[in-house]
Amino acid sequence: MSSQRKESTIIVAGGKGLRAGGDLPKQFQPIGGIPMLMHTILAFHHYNPQMKIVVVLPDEFQLLWEELCRLHDFIVPHRVVAGGETRFHSVKNGLVEIADEEIVGVHDAARPFVGTDLIARCFEAAGLHDCGVIPVVEEANSVRLLTENGSQILDRQLLRLVQTPQVFPATRLKSAYETAFDPAFTDDASLAEKSGVRILLIKGEESNFKITTPFDWMLADSLWQNYIKTTE
């Protein structure tokens, strides 16, 4: 724990889609035998066992989550709140549980391989600089921008891919979320920046990818198997 201020995290698991394959939303599908969401919660608990963890879930899946916690004897303390119509509304619901004096992170449930070091660096920087902090990685592919006449090349060295956790002094993020919903707000940083919060970029982790497609699940299983082998 890096700061004298209390730390908390909102884990956004409000999705209902099945794009990653399977019969359940991806946050409940297993990696290494336990639901992905449990891995994500554990990542933050391992960083700071005293951290307040708020999980945002759709109403219709909260009983399923309770049953999964019983089935896997999952006892890591966390609070569950109802998800909203969009990610914006889900995070806003989660912020109700966060005290003004805290430093709060917002993290995608579908990024279960976030490292303790990355979490620590995000919270340390947010507390030290009193600003929003987001982890980013470089773009390795050539990229093009669509135009009215076709497309044009972009300099990939000027681009960064945004990850989570995105970490803020709670008062600043709460103030930002008092604004009206706009589809242009694709993440917390875009909303906070619009309200005047300074955003600091720090180096993310390649392994902190978002599981979205069936191929991502194959990669996740491979990473987990490699982790087991290295810890045996």
Task: Give the integer Cα–Cα distance in Å for 69 and 75.
Answer: 7
Q: What is the mean pLDDT of the chain?
A: 92
The CATH classification number of 7-231 equals 3.90.550.10
Domain residue ranges in the chain: 7-231
Regarding pTM above 0.85, the answer is yes
Run of H or E residues at 136: strand 132-138
Q: Which residues lie across from 151 on neighbouring strands?
A: 146
| pLDDT per residue as tens digits for the range 51-88 | 999 999 999 999 999 999 999 999 999 999 999 999 99
- Stretches where the chain sits below pLDDT 70 are 1-4, 16-22, 229-232
Task: Give the integer Cα–Cα distance in Å for 231 and 226.
Answer: 9
Residue 196 in 3-state DSSP? coil
Instruction: Please identify which residue in the block is written with the tokens 């939303």.
Output: 25
* Exposed/middle/buried for residue 203 (C-beta within 10 Å: 0-12, 13-18, 19+): exposed
